[in-house]
Structure 1
Amino acid sequence: MTTTRTIGTRQEWLAARLQLVAQEKELTRRSDELARQRQALPWVRVDKNYRFETEQGSATLAELFGGRSQLMVYHFMFGPDYTAGCPSCSGIADGFDGIAVHLANHDVTLTAVSRAPLETLLAYRRRMGWSFPWASSGSSDFNADFNVAFTAAQRRDGGIEYNYRREPAMPVAAPDQCASNGAGCSKEQSPVQFIAAQTGTDAATFTRDRPGMSTFVREGDAIYHVYSTYARGLDGLWGMYQWLDRAPLGRNEQGIWWRRHDEYAS
């Protein structure tokens, strides 16, 4: 991507910057208003008895709150057939440890939830050097009910509703022969196939899990679902993009450039 560049004087820069300041302030005010609208959404009571596997043993949704009144769940793409977590979700999760302690001291628990077995999740967490809570929902309907996990039949028949829209049916494709080869594969790959290969799967298996974030609140014994967002709605949680949007060349992307933090060349 080419970024338009001009050379100017300090006075010209200041004039342009002041115009941009006005627009940034308007965006901030709009963002504040959207936050108020999120908080004004109706609360929907959660009556299903979801079970999770955690480091402390089997847990209910209420127990994931950790004694706090609010719970924020990051739906981390790590399906039961993955050999490693989604690299994009991993980039977002790199910021969790630093922020989770602040949230915990503001009555909010942050946890990741995925369908992969707990021992697989914890092994990957150790590899990444993270410490935030991570629960396996593999034995429950939690991911399916919050529209981040789908069956092969849903994918085939057009039964996937993700990011508040229904996706068209996807034809059954031959297995992706590059799934085990990663970046060194010689086959022409789509971005989804490329990322799927980094998780040790093919595109069809990889896309049965999707990323998202959901929030819950507890009042007494009652738990309510308040908010969920998906896809580009997660941009604000991906710390590196907030920095790149302020960098001289912006995101400046050509294909899938990011990697897990332990995969960049030193």
Structure 2
Amino acid sequence: MADTEGVFLPMWPDGASDDYIRARMDLAAAERRLRDEIENVAAARRALPPGAVIEDYILTEGDPQRQTRISQLFGDHDTLVIYHLMFHPDADAACPMCSMWVDGFHGVSHHLAQHAGFAVVAKAPQAKLLDWAAKRGWDGLRLLSSHGTTFNADLRAEHPNGDQRPMISVFTRDPGTTAIRHVHSLPANFVDGSQRAIDLLSPVWNVLDLLPGGRGEWYAENGYAGRDRG
């Protein structure tokens, strides 16, 4: 094993046992296989056939409020990413897990902007969404309300009973046309109902998985003792 200089640098300090070194090298091979499989899945995602053309929905954005079409969220890009924030119109706060994911997106939004349009859409009314965003410090994201529209239901980001569904979706604009095409959506649960489908999108889970105790049964909260936020 060598780094970019072609020189082997151990991943452990002096004093590591032979058993530890063997186990760590086995783990390193597994980590590489995991990386390769992640890249295989990403390639399969990019190879999907063209998705459905969707309506150019009109959402609510800003304060004072204005009407914004989905097509306007692309900016100078031909690709748009939307995170469907789980925030029911009658709720007083957004989902803690969704809020954690959006915290992460906010931190890297200036990097994402180099490649695609990015926005967060919630079913909660715009005033309620902006109030929540202010508490979280989301001042670098486009935040839009789909309240009063069928956007969430049509994109399957909402259950028939009105419960909201955490999900991320990607769209493209067809070259030479105004058509907006759905590429793919990834909800928080897999099709068999198991969880962790979008965990790779949050650094929190990836760091917790590095810890000796793992992530355990921990669940994000909208506020923690000693931290006045959300």
TM-score with structure 2 length normalisation?
A: 0.82
What letter corresponds to residue 125 of structure 1 in structure 2? A
Give the unaligned 5+ runs of structure 1: 1-7, 153-204
For 1:137, the equivalent position in structure 2 comes to: 146
What letter corresponds to residue 210 of structure 1 in structure 2? R
Larger RCO: 1 or 2 (CA < 8 Å, sep 6+):
1
Q: Alignment partner of 2:170: what SS?
A: strand
1:211-257 alpha-carbon deviations (Å, 9 max, x no partner): 0010001133221111111122211112210100111211122xx54
Q: Alignment partner of 2:98: what SS?
A: helix
What letter corresponds to residue 109 of structure 1 in structure 2? G
Paired residues, number: 200
Cα pair 2:55 2:180 within 8 Å, conserved = no
CA distance in 1: counterparts of 2:99 and 2:111, whole angstroms: 20
* 71, 81, 105: which one aligns with 1:72: 81
Superposed displacement of residue 133, structure 1: 1.0
Q: Alignment partner of 1:250: what SS?
A: coil
CA distance in 1: counterparts of 2:127 and 2:44, whole angstroms: 39
* 34, 41, 59: which one aligns with 1:34: 41
Q: Alignment partner of 1:96: what SS?
A: helix
For 1:157, the equivalent position in structure 2 comes to: none
Q: Alignment partner of 1:74: what SS?
A: strand
CA distance in 2: counterparts of 1:9 and 1:53, whole angstroms: 58
For 2:170, the equivalent position in structure 1 comes to: 215
Give the unaligned 5+ runs of structure 2: 1-14, 189-195
Q: Alignment partner of 1:151: what SS?
A: coil
CA distance in 2: counterparts of 1:67 and 1:9, whole angstroms: 52
What letter corresponds to residue 149 of structure 2 in structure 1? S
Cα pair 1:45 1:225 within 8 Å, conserved = yes
Cα pair 2:56 2:180 within 8 Å, conserved = no
1:155-202 alpha-carbon deviations (Å, 9 max, x no partner): xxxxxxxxxxxxxxxxxxxxxxxxxxxxxxxxxxxxxxxxxxxxxxxx
CA distance in 1: counterparts of 2:214 and 2:134, whole angstroms: 32
For 2:6, the equivalent position in structure 1 comes to: none
For 1:51, the equivalent position in structure 2 comes to: 58
Cα distance change, pair 67–54 in 1 and its aligned pair in 2 (3 A): farther
| 1:9-158 map, 5 Å | 9-55=16-62, 57-106=66-115, 108-131=116-139, 132-152=141-161
TM-score with structure 1 length normalisation?
A: 0.71
Superposed displacement of residue 50, structure 1: 1.2
Cα pair 1:118 1:135 within 8 Å, conserved = yes
CA distance in 1: counterparts of 2:213 and 2:86, whole angstroms: 29
Identical columns (%): 37
Cα pair 1:51 1:139 within 8 Å, conserved = no
Cα pair 1:116 1:137 within 8 Å, conserved = yes
Cα pair 2:51 2:184 within 8 Å, conserved = no
Cα pair 1:45 1:222 within 8 Å, conserved = no
* 194, 198, 210: which one aligns with 1:234: 198
Q: Alignment partner of 1:41: what SS?
A: coil
What letter corresponds to residue 43 of structure 1 in structure 2? P
Cα pair 1:216 1:224 within 8 Å, conserved = yes
What letter corresponds to residue 216 of structure 2 in structure 1? N
Q: Alignment partner of 1:94: what SS?
A: helix
